[in-house]
């Protein structure tokens, strides 16, 4: 059972572009919004997108999630897949060989545009990977994938599986092999919540909760792999025992950005204050202060765009925020979305930034899936 890192949504935290040259002076929110909702053909109700991905050398883009029907604890989930069309609208992709039921949790696209989709069958408590590289195939895996990441010809998917394997590696279509991660001994609830790769460096972050299942004393973890196997990295960020590691990204320069939230769960509290830890190429961790961190709460995802700009999707509850940080300026707030949740960010081949998630009602319940695009 995952108390702090629930299976959906997967909400993460992030930072900036070329690491050593960034300014950490925050600015006040800007009044205008750079996010507009994209057209979603045949939009279902009660669903949301959990992930979005784009091919780097083609115009293909996919967003995945689920539509829930029924009432807890007897809800059933129908896969939700949408594809970007040339007009900029999103429509159901009938070519994806998804199962009739299940929760689609992660999507990746190879440079050539082949899709990889991870999901879980909630009724059977099993996981699967849909692989398009050699024609659609289904590989059963004992975990729920949360993040695909790729470097060169090697693919990995990371996720959650109780105390079992959390990373699978693939170097050929239809072949996925589990890899062991060096978790501490004697822990119980564990998961990888985000992963990233660039230039032969692989990174994965998550948690290994205490044996009694209490969220009050998490053991957050960061693993690195430079091609010689996974190793656990100690992150000196000043009181990391009360931090959630929610997002990690490897920069093209080799530096690593790690994000999360400052938390307070003592005495039944449920408090989040957004914060950021930055690991420079030299190996030193520098903490970055976001503008109005108590309002931002937590960053749902981070993205380093091809031009080096970092985008951060922040927020909890009923509001979401798009933050932007270029290597030549301060952190700014570009957009505020009320009654909305952003789960993932993505960049299409033409350089446009997209956000995937859901529209919410006044109580924070999911109303319908939504995708937003950045203007300007």
Which pLDDT belongs to residue 187?
57
Residue 82 tokens, joined:
């949408």
**CA angle at 7 for the pair 159 and 114, rounded to the nearest 5°:** 50
Burial of 92 (0-12, 13-18, 19+ CB in 10 A): middle
Which pLDDT belongs to residue 95?
83
What's the helix, strand, coil split of the chain in %, to 5? Answer: 5, 50, 45
Which pLDDT belongs to residue 324?
92
Cα(99)–Cα(80) distance, integer angstroms: 10
Cis before 73? omega within 30? yes
Residue-by-residue pLDDT tens, the chain, 376 positions: 222 333 332 222 222 222 322 333 333 444 457 999 999 988 788 899 999 999 988 899 999 999 988 777 777 888 999 999 998 999 988 788 888 888 999 999 998 899 999 999 876 678 999 999 988 999 888 888 999 999 988 999 998 766 666 899 999 988 899 998 888 765 567 788 899 999 899 999 987 765 544 444 456 788 999 988 999 988 765 545 577 888 899 988 888 888 778 777 665 556 676 676 667 656 777 777 788 888 888 888 889 999 999 999 998 888 999 999 887 678 899 999 999 999 999 999 999 999 999 999 988 889 999 999 999 7
Closest to 120 in 3D by CA, of 171, 65, 82: 65
Task: Record the pTM.
Answer: 0.87
Which pLDDT belongs to residue 349?
92
Contact 269, 8 (CB under 8 A): no
Domains of the chain: 19-374 (2.130.10.10)
Closest to 146 in 3D by CA, of 131, 164, 129, 133: 129
Which pLDDT belongs to residue 280?
62
Task: Output the DSSP codes for 1-45.
Answer: --SSS-SS--------SSGGG----B-PPPSS--EEEPPBTTPPS
């Amino acid at each position: 059972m995952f108390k702090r890192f629930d299976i959906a949504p997967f909400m993460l935290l992030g930072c900036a572009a070329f690491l050593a040259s960034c300014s950490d002076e925050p600015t006040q929110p800007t009044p205008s919004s750079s996010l507009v909702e994209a057209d979603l053909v045949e939009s279902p109700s009660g669903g949301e997108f959990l992930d979005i991905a784009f091919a780097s050398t083609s115009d293909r883009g996919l967003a995945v999630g689920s539509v829930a029907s029924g009432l807890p604890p007897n809800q059933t989930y129908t896969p939700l897949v949408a594809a970007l069309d040339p007009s900029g609208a999103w429509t159901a992709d009938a070519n994806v060989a998804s199962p009739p039921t299940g929760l689609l949790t992660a999507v990746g696209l190879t440079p050539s545009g082949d899709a990889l989709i991870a999901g879980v069958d909630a009724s059977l408590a099993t996981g699967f990977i849909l692989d398009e590289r050699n024609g659609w195939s289904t590989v059963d895996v004992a975990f729920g994938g949360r993040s695909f990441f790729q470097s060169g010809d090697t693919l990995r998917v990371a996720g959650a599986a109780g105390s079992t394997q959390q990373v699978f590696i693939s170097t050929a279509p239809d072949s996925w092999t589990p890899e062991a991660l060096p978790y501490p001994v004697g822990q119980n609830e564990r998961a990888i919540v985000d992963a990233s790769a660039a230039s032969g460096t692989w990174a994965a972050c998550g948690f290994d909760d205490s044996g009694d299942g209490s969220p009050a004393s998490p053991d957050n973890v960061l693993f690195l792999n430079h091609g010689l196997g996974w190793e656990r990295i100690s992150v000196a960020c000043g009181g990391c025992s009360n931090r959630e590691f929610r997002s990690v990204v490897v920069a093209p320069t080799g530096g690593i950005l790690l994000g999360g939230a400052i938390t307070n769960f003592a005495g039944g509290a449920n408090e989040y204050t957004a914060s950021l830890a930055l690991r420079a190429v030299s190996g030193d961790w520098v903490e970055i202060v976001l503008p109005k961190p108590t309002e931002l709460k937590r960053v749902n995802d981070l993205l380093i765009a091809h031009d080096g700009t970092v985008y951060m999707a922040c927020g909890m509850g009923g509001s979401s925020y798009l933050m932007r940080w270029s290597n030549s300026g301060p952190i700014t707030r570009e957009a505020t979305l009320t009654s909305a949740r952003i789960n993932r960010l993505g960049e299409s081949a033409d350089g446009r930034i997209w956000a995937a998630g859901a529209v919410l009602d006044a109580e924070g319940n999911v109303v319908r899936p939504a995708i937003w695009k950045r203007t300007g």
